[in-house]
Amino acid sequence: MKNLPDVDLMELVKEENDNAFEILLNRHSKALYDLVYKRTRSDADTKDIIQDIFISVWKNRQTITIETSLYPYLYRAAKYAVIDLTIRNRKVLAFQEILMSAPMDIDPGAEQITIAQELKQEFEAEVANMPSTMRDIFRLSRDEKLSSREIAQRLQLSEQTVRNNITLALNRLRVRFKANQLLVLVPPAIYFTSL
């Protein structure tokens, strides 16, 4: 069965043949991983995207039509998934900028202050555990509000390296604080400035 072309394997997949699906997955996952990782530079995001694509292939197996190879279908799905991820990341950054510029005139209760202090400690611990270059870039970006160009000049790195490290740092925080998405959006300094 391993030597069957994609067209024949897809016909078996339409008949709910798990082995045929696994062969297709194994046949294309490495190339798909390389393609997606080249754009995301995040192992976690890449694996999530690939998993979502193959789940979609299984769910839509009855309607997927291929002429010779499944790869063009997978390539298009990966392309659009990376675009969606990029848009989501940009929205997160834009929302973070809005929150950072918003005045904080809230009078928090004792419970909220305790929660904020705990979240701040967890956030700071996660930032402290980042690789040194990523941590330095992230702190310069968020704490000192330096642009990518200014950080690149200060650390003698390329602007692309700076941007990549900021993206990786945000992805790392997003994965760590998945249950509490607001923490990734709001830096700890903005929780309660009077802590």
The per-residue pLDDT for range 46-67, each reduced to its tens digit, is 998 999 999 999 999 999 999 9
- Cα 191 to Cα 106: distance, rounded to the nearest angstrom: 10
pLDDT of 146 above 90: no
Q: Are residues 125 and 79 in the same domain?
A: no
SS3 per-residue string spanning 72-109? HHHHHHHHHHHHHHHHHHHHHHHHHHHHHHCCCCCCCC
CA atoms of 125 and 52, how far apart (whole Å): 31
CATH number of 143's domain: 1.10.10.10
Q: Does any domain span residue 77?
A: yes
- Based on the fold, state whether residues 112 and 187 are members of the same structural domain: yes
CB-CB contact of 61 with 70 (8 Å): no
For position 193, what pLDDT does the model report?
A: 41
Out of 20-24, 39-43, 60-64, 86-90, pick the least confident. Answer: 86-90
95 within a domain of the structure (yes/no)? no
The answer to the question of residue 48 being in a domain is yes
What phi and psi values does residue 89 have, to the nearest 5 degrees? -65, -40
pLDDT of residue 8: 93
Where does a domain end: 58, 88, 118?
88
Does residue 1 lie within any of the structural domains?
no
Whether residues 78 and 153 fall in one domain: no
48-87 burial, b for 16+ CB within 10 Å, e for fewer? bbbeebbeebeeebeeeebeebbbebbbebbeebbeebee
> Which residue range(s) make up the domain with 175?
104-191
Determine, yes or no, domain membership for 31: yes
CATH number at residue 56: 1.10.1740.10
Distance between CA atoms of 113 and 121, rounded to whole angstroms?
A: 12
Residue 93 falls within a domain, yes or no?
no
Q: DSSP letters of the chain?
A: -TTS-HHHHHHHHHTT-HHHHHHHHHHHHHHHHHHHHHHH--HHHHHHHHHHHHHHHHHTTTT---SS-SHHHHHHHHHHHHHHHHHHHHHHHHHHHHHHHS-------HHHHHHHHHHHHHHHHHHHTS-HHHHHHHHHHHTS---HHHHHHHHT--HHHHHHHHHHHHHHHHHHTTT-HHHHHS-HHHH-TT-
Q: Identify the pLDDT of residue 109.
A: 66
pLDDT at 144: 85
Same domain, 53 and 118: no
The residue ranking higher by pLDDT, 98 or 194, is: 98
Asked whether residue 97 is assigned to any structural domain, the reply reads no
Q: How many domains is the chain partitioned into structurally?
A: 2
Last residue of a domain, one of 29, 58, 88: 88
Quick one: 135 and 184 in the same domain?
yes
Asked if the structure places residue 183 within a domain, the reply is yes
